[in-house]
Amino acid sequence: MKLIIAEKPSVGRAIAESLGVITSNKTHIECKNNHTVIWCFGHLFELASPEFYLNKESKIWLKEDLPIFPDNWQLLPKPASKTQLKLIGDLLKKSDLIIHAGDPDREGQLLIDEILDYFHNKKIVKRFWCSTPDQRSITTALNNLEPNEKYKSWGKSAYARALADWLIGMNLTRANTLAFKERGGRDLIVIGRVKTPTLNLIVERCNQIENFKPIPYFKIKAIFDYKNHKLHTLFKPKEDQKGLDQDGRLIDLDVVKTITATVKLESKGIISNNRHEKKSIGQPKGLSGAGLGKIAFNLYGYSAQKTLDLSQALYEKKVTSYPRTDCEFLSENQYQESKEIIDIIANIPQYKVIIDNADLTIKSSIWNDKKITAHHAIIPTFHSFNIDILSKDEANLYDIIVKNYISQFYPKHEYNLQTITITCGGYDFGTSVKTILQSGWKSIFENDEVEDQEQLEDQELTLDVLVDDPVLCSEINFSDEKTKPPAYFTDSSIIEAMINIHKYVSDEYKKYLKETDGIGTIATRAMIIEELSKKEYIERQGKGKKSKIIATNLGKQLINSVSGNIKEPAITAVLERHLQSIQDGSGEIEPFLNRQKEFVIKELERAFDPNRQNVIEIIPCPDCGADLIRRTGQKGKGKTATKYDFFGCSGYPKCKSSFKVSKDGQPEY
């Protein structure tokens, strides 16, 4: 018997359908040619708790128990998985060949490998690797099975990640919570290898906004008459212009008045430069999970987790490819298959017009074998279906994916850009005119949010404006402007920040981090944001596209209470690089874990350093003398619920005193 072990029921059933079903059960399916398909429900095992290694029944946290470094790591079956696990074990005994059908990523590899290790499997294992769950792709994958050994290092990397998360999370959560209480705090301080640096990004952004002091500057605008045109221009300072700050803004009012007075008096100027460019914007990049999330947020206000859930649902319905991908490209082979996918989409009436205008001979830069990773960009599949099976939100996401795919078969977007410089009274003013030559792929999207890939092609064009032609200034004035604070993070921009973490680290680490380094993975980033929200470290304000992520007082308190290294994103980004080295076979788990243990020991010392300054202002309850704790409450339920801060007595429930928070952050007695 050939036993196929899938990661989840939907994938198992899709594989069984491809093989031909004989008998279907709730737990497994018997198929033609002596195949049996069984599935998991996510991870069937979990790492043992600290109490297991401490050999304690009590769950009271004690300083003297730290650090907790297991000598022999234990994976224990989850209580809910024991029945399915036993059935897998029984089927393994009857099998001649095992086919590993975990999802095509690190966690998918580990999920099945840990089952095989648990049962001490010695039989031959082949790896089924499929990014699109349609019948054609499944059949192709079944006909091209590879040795599972080829991907074992992927599972090792996922296992190393789990152990590192355990070491850091279990030890430092306990240490920082205990130390926090010693300094007057009363809250649980949950530390996570990725969660804490991510929270730190959000807290720092909120602090920047709250402490932002706008810088005043001036903007000079002038209107010049040229033949039958009125040219609206902005002042363009030269390099030696006086009155500029380091960012090139005009900040000296006297200089501004001199410029406007001189130009008004002179009034006559000339066209000093007339630059013509033909520009082309290439077809949009393919959709990675993060790229899809960004567009879904900008168009529909979907949270990162909602987009991931929807894209997973589309994947399980076989209509789109694997969603947890960081790749933005497709293979050359997929270009050869594009007509068949287009034919499937053409059966959906709403896409008929844009498909009729597509040109399948166009080959955009998305097709590139050299840039394919373990996965490819998210695309529609060969699976034929009725669009009515999709919910409204699923259809919205499918629409983004379809339009991105079809846009690859439209011409580039082309336009002429004319940049005009006018000199008057010795000062330069500029304006530009854009003329679309060919709408190209942009005609598909209308007002949709897409990311341009701009490519410049200089080409002189003949326009009516001529250098040295005279102009006359008919109006000039200036306006008071102020710099704006950075924007709050959104579900889209915080994911982008986690990916491009090199933009947010100190100069000390920038040189070590390439643009490909980040924190978290495509599979975990959305979940991390949700976990921070559930712990009430962050909250969303506003709805849909206008929602923003704000750090709560508790979140700020947590970040203020822990040492810099725990919240330093560069530390986590470097750790991700070590995980990648384990995945590609150049690194090993043991030295990696030793580095994590060294890190934990240093952070324990920092947590319990007696010289650390208290970050908690201890305010006694006026009714009983116990500590008051600032907390977040909620009024109402559902969509009408609102959150508010208050001070509550730590002696609750014996003392039920609570107080509003004043403008200066103190309790109102």
369 and 334 Cβ atoms separated by less than 8 Å: no
The β-bridge partners of 548 are 541
Measured in whole angstroms, the distance separating CA 382 from the mean position of its chain's CA atoms is 28
Closest C-alpha among 307, 288, 286, 285 to residue 296:
307
CA dihedral 141, 142, 146, 152 (to 10 degrees): 80
* Contact status, residue 512 vs residue 570, Cβ threshold 8 Å: yes
Structure tokens at 438: 């060919």
CA–CA gap between residue 485 and residue 13 (Å, rounded): 52
Q: Could you tell me which of 321, 308, 334 has the C-alpha nearest to residue 11?
A: 321
Q: Residue length, the chain? A: 669
C-beta neighbour count of 453 within 10 angstroms? 15
Q: How many CB atoms lie within 10 A of CB 118?
A: 17
Cβ neighbours of residue 667 under 8 Å, at least 6 residues apart?
Answer: 619, 628, 647, 659, 660, 661
End-to-end CA distance of the chain: 75
Measuring CA to CA, which residue among 42, 44, 52 is closest to residue 73? 52
Per DSSP bridges, beta strands 146-147 and 216-226 are: unpaired
CA distance 276 to 459: 7
The C-alpha atoms of residue 620 and residue 628 are separated, in whole angstroms, by 6
Pairing of strands 2-6, 97-101: parallel
Residue 322 is a catalytic residue: yes
The rounded distance, in Å, linking the Cα atoms of 276 and 196 is 50
Catalytic, out of 217, 226, 322, 427: 322
Amino acid of residue 137: S
Q: How far is it, in rounded angstroms, from Cα 156 to Cα 202?
A: 31
Q: Shortest CA distance to 151 belongs to which of 199, 99, 105? A: 105
The residues assigned a catalytic role are 322
